[in-house]
Every structure is written in C-alpha cells, then in structure tokens.
Structure 1
Amino acid sequence: MRAYLQQLIYRIKGSYWFIPSLMVIASIVLSQLAIWTDREIGNEWMKDFWFASMNQPDGARALLATVAGSMITVAGVTFSLTILAVSHATAHFGPRLLDNFMRDKGNQVTLGTFVATFLYCLLVLRVIRGEGLPGDAGLDVSAFVPQLSLLIALFLTIASVGELIYFIHHVPDSIHISTVLQRLAEDMDRKFDELYPETVGEPLQTESDEDPPSFEFVHHVRSSSSGYLQGIDDTDLLKFAKTNDVVIRLLRRPGDFLREKEPIAEVTKFADWNDKTADSIRYGFTIGFSRTPTQDVFFILNEFVEVATRALSPGVNDPFTAMQCIDWLSVGLVQLSQRNLPPVRRVDGKGNVRIITTQTTHQDFVDAMLGQLIPYAKDDKNARKYFVDSMQKVVAISDNIELNHLINEQVREIQRQEN
C-alpha cells in the first residue's frame, strides 16, 4: 500500500488539475463567506477605511465583469505558454524530463490563481442587485452590493497581476538548462538520502556474497501484468515475512521492466501456500507504464545522461551542456562515495533474516552515470577532456577505494578510445 500511495502522490503532484482544483474550491468557499458577511454584517463598518470605496450596482457589475473576462483570457494564454514551454523542453532535453515540468508548482499555482479569480468574480457578480426587478409587481427586491466581496475581488486581481509578472519571468527561467539540471541535482540529492534505505528491517551486520545455504526458495511469485516496477512496499513484505516466518527474496528492483508471468520474488517453504498468498506478496509490487523516481534513483541519473547525449549529438553539437551534466554527475559520485550501500539481507527486530533484496553495487552506479556517456563523450575533444578532468577530481575527493577503482577504469576506457 505504501508504494502505491507513493506513486499516487507522485502522479497528483505531476498533474495540472490538483492544485488549480484546490484553489477553485477555495475561491468558491471564499466567495460564499464574503457574501454571507456582507449580508449579515453589512457595509457600514467599511466606510472608515480609506481604501474601501463604496460601489454602486452598475459600477460593481462592470468591475467584476471586466476582471472575470480578463482572468479567463489570461488563463488561456498562460496555458498556451505552459504547453509551449513543455514542448520545447521535451524536444531539446528529452521526453523523460516532461514530468519535471509538469510538477512545476509555479505553473500550477499561476493557472489556479487566474481560474480561481475568474470563478470568484462570477459568483459575486450574480448576487449584485439594483433597486428592484421589473416585471412582477409583487416582487420587491432591495438593492444589494457586497462591498467586502468587491474589495476581496480587487485584492485577488492585484495578486493575479503579480502572478502574471512572476509567470512571465518563470517560464523562460524554468526551461534554462542550468535550472533544469539544478532541479535534477536536487532530486538526485533527495533520492540518495531516501533510497536504498535502512527501512527494510534491520541490516545484517555480517554479510557474505552468497545467500545462506539454509534458505531454500520453493515458491515463486510472478508478475500479474507487464510494465515498469515503480515501487516495492518493503514494510508490508517484511510484515508478511515476519508473520508467516518465511524469507522473501526479491528478484527485481524499481525501474526494471517486467513482463507478465515473469518471476519477481521467491519465498521459502510455506505450508499454506496458495494463489491468495502469492497475491499478498504481489500486492507489494507497484507496476506502471512508465518509470518514476520515487524509488528509482537510476531514473534520475539516466535523465542526466540523456540530456548530455542529446547535447553531444551531431544535430545539436552543444558540448557545454554536456559538461554541465558531467559536473552534476561528478557531484553524485562524490555523494555516493560518502555512504555505504545497504546490505542485501535484511532482518527483523529479533535478528532473523526476512528479506533478501537485489544487489545494488557501485558498478551499477558507475555504469549508469559514466559507462552510458562514454560512447558519446569520446568523440568530442572538449567533452572528453572535461570528463577526464572531472573524474580525476572526484577520485581526489573520494575515500572509497572500490568506487575510485571503477571511476579510474572509465577514465582509462575513454582515454583508450581517444587513442
């Protein structure tokens, strides 16, 4: 359930409907609250404030109609500019970076501000009345101009103008390559802290390269659908293993592509094993149609490499963007050198092995961050030299002997291809 909720939250944050919808709901509540205040308390108290001008019905209608019409027009322009920026980013940086722009809070809040202001003005406009209504002689309706509601509409308009100024600056800034890479770097920092956690039970202190021979895995859990493994609910799997006194070995990690009926886990002997039991374990795996960074740091690393390889392609020929990617990848390697990768076997509170995860090694990181980039960097003299210099600086900083050895191998590899 936790892995599913992670993916749900990730999708909601990457949508253009959630935050604007909340702001629209807030505008509806605010409009009704302001109108109720005008009806129950009246407007006399506002005459003491210099900034509160008393509007007549015709003027109030004109003000709200003008603001509402302007806001919905600007909202349409805003949406068009956002789509244009997303299209530009997808074409130049790669389609996998689309989620980074979709999750941009600035764009979502801007769209929500204009739509919410429009709806607020519309709801207030409908309650403004003149001295009476023509037609039915028995219908006598006194004039009503919600002065507080109009004042709030004016404040919302001023806020919308400020939001528009911010948006005009924000759009070009958000598609600047330095901003794009900075956001990827922030995601990488966060995921290095969150992923490969010490939360799948407690780590086993003494670890060997081989699984304990006493573990005989007799039950196989297969994927019920095809797609990318987006997350694993380690907490539920650990609870299941502890409750039923079994050991679960995970055969795939987040980011892997799964095919229907492909094995995803193995379980030691369990007397009451059946399809329902297999489903209990299968529910701990969240599968979707695309990779997400919620539990897959390699997805973020691949984004860096994708931007760099596109920049080094003959059609773009932008080695300086590739150099910026190398800079941030080198930062990731330095961070990686300062932490220990979690052990494969995980134990419960009593010291019993409950879960055996897939092995993640420094070799995996070096292959993803450097190995995939070398075939493209080797053909550009500037990028090649910068790659070698940056990796040498990483080795000089790092105290991780294993990681330094792997980085030096990549440096020698690109130098051999140069010759």
Structure 2
Amino acid sequence: MRAVDLIQKKRDNQVLTRQEIEWLISSYAAGTVPDYQMSAFAMAVYFRGMDMQEIRDLTLAMVETGESIDLSAIPGIKVDKHSTGGVGDKVTLILAPLVASFGVPVAKMSGRGLGHTGGTLDKLEAVKGYQVERPQKAFIKQVQEIGLAVIGQSERLVKADKLLYALRDVTATVDTIPLIASSVMSKKIAAGADSILLDVTVGNGAFMKTVADAEKLAETMVTLGKEVGRKTVAVVTDMSQPLGQAVGNRLEVLEALQIMQGQGREDISHFICDLAKIMLKLAGVEESLAVIHQHLVGGRALRKFEEMIAAQGGDLKDLYRPADARFVTEILAEESGYIAELPALEFGLFAMKLGAGRAVKSDCLDYETGLVFEKKVGDAVRKGERVACIYSQEELGEKELTEFQKNVKIMRERLVPKEIIKIIS
C-alpha cells in the first residue's frame, strides 16, 4: 500500500477498508509514513468525514499502536470518566472520590491542559508532592487498596494518538468528530475500565460549539464504546460559562475542597451528584441523589480524596493552603441586574495569560493564579457588588481590567442556565 493512494481515496470521499486504515496508522506509528502525509490525510478526513465503520477501525487501529492496561486484578466494575474539555472543570477532583466512596473502584488516567482549557493533572500538581507519574503495578495496587487513583497517561498508551494529536493541533484539524472520537475512545479503551462516562461539553468554551455537533460526537463515542464491550454513557453539558466558581489550578483545588465540605454552590454540587448517579449505575450501583449528596457534603468523598492525595505523595497540609498570589483584584458590577453572560473561552484565555494555563506544551504554569467568580449566569447583582476576583503575580493595568470587565454581561432579565443538556446511552 501507499499512503498517497489512501489520502487520495479519502479526498475523493471514498470509504477506506479496515486493512487500509490499520496499515496507515501502524505505518505512521512506526515512522514510515511521514507527518506531511498524515497531515494531508487528517485534512481529507476533516472535509470528507468517516462513516461509523471507518471510525471504529481507526479507533481500534490506534489502540493497537501501544499497550493496553489490564485492570482485571482490581475487583468490581471499574469506571472511568472523560471530559472533552472546558474552563474551570474541576469535576474529576470531586466526582472520582465521590464515586469511590461507594466502594466502586475508579482507576483514572488524566491529561494536562493546553490553551484555554485546564487539565486535571495540573490541578493535582498544585498540591506539593503529588505524583502523577506512577508505574502500572503501583497504580493497580493503589486502586486495590483505597479504590481510587488519578495518574498521568502512560507514554506507552496509544502511541499513534499522541503523534496524531500533536499534528492536528498545528494543522487546524482538531475539531472534527471522527478524529476527536477516535482519539478519546482509543485512550479510554486502552486504559482498561469496564464502564465509561463521557462528558461532552458544548458552547463558547468547548470544542463543540453547537448542541447538534455535541450530540453527534456523543452518539459516536457511545457507539464505539458499546461495540468493544464497554458500558458507555455520554452527557452533553454546558460550557458557555466557566464551570463552578474558580478558574486556575490551586483555586480549583480549593473550590473542590469547599464543595466536599458542603460549602460550594448548590448548582455545581447537584451537577456532580447527577454525574455520580450515572457513574454508579454504570457500575451496577443504584443510589438516590439524596444519599449521593450526603456522601458529597458529609465528608465521605473528602476523606477518599485525602486518601488519594496522601497515597500519591501529596502533602495534606499544603492541600488546604490558600492561593499564594501577590495581588487579588476585585471586579465590581457596573450596573444592577442579572448576570447574563460570562464567556468561558474569554475567561479561559485571560487565566492563561495570568500563568494558569499553557499557550504551548512547554510553558511553565503558575499554580497560584486565576479567577474566582462570586456571581454566575442567572445571579442577581447590584451596582458596585463584587462579581469576581483576579489572582495575579503582577498588578493589573487598565487594559487588563477593561478586557475582563467587557466580558461580564449584565441584563435586566434573568436567564436560567442548564448544566446537563442531554444524556445519551
């Protein structure tokens, strides 16, 4: 076979066979198909798409380019969760220990943030000593002992995806459903969990900008999961505004702790309980929202989180330390009314400029900087009332403050946001 023939075939909107896809992906992982040809293939897929069989073949071909993790030594039904990305998304920090507090094993591999989106590993590394790199045996042993581990993705997991994702990032081919679905699901399949919850975000701060596209991606990934024998459910969730109150690594850890102490906003607490109910059901555990909420705010989830932090080398005293930013700048409402819009993308980029995120993978993070919103969409606000605080290491100038303020939209009519838009199973 020749790569150029397969590129041309997809360019001309023809369907590739399983053998052709397997050859292309394995050859790319082996280095015999160069980046420039794979870039051309990705662009052909971007414009021509793939049918469900092609996406399935692509996903499984990518799984075969690396190791797969065997979690069979861990008793029970292992559950995993994945988000397609967003701003202020600290859900895993809370949801994983909450589910584990019911005796359901959670063996999770997470990633880092890039651009306006945050990464779970970056948040956990804001805790002094926390180790995200763990040998597979230690990872499995920890889940056996305490029922929970969140670590970094193995370098040997799905080699083709690492290569292809880096290529897509610089060739404007990230936001296409066949490549997103195969990227996400190849890693989830290789990671070994029995059941998977997919959080497909939609809106200003997400890859998917429309509900229709988000639903299509969710349906594609659920189908992929089921076809390889994994119980899979997707939720389409709103990412038009930052999730919760905090954006920034330590600030999000602190918010997660507040939520697990019963001091968080009710909307995000109920949202996480809804997700926990779905994950528990995937593991064969039926629980009421009332019981789940009690685990969340009554200390059980928090104790499980502290167990994980300690097991992975984290300093529990440092866990509760306030953010160490030199400047905390208040943003006050310029008029009275209701918060109507807080565009997640804009605030994610703003936090990135403060050092809370990376523009490129080699950037160093400032774990202490970020944003905390005291008002969210739908909340009433009076002129002069505090809307948010900006945590920075340098004093902000008029330009930065104006940039922030212009994205806080206030109207006379109240809008009611909805976190979970649709459940797809």
TM (norm. structure 1) is 0.23
Q: Which has the higher strand share?
A: 2
Q: Which has the higher helix share?
A: 1
Larger Rg: 1
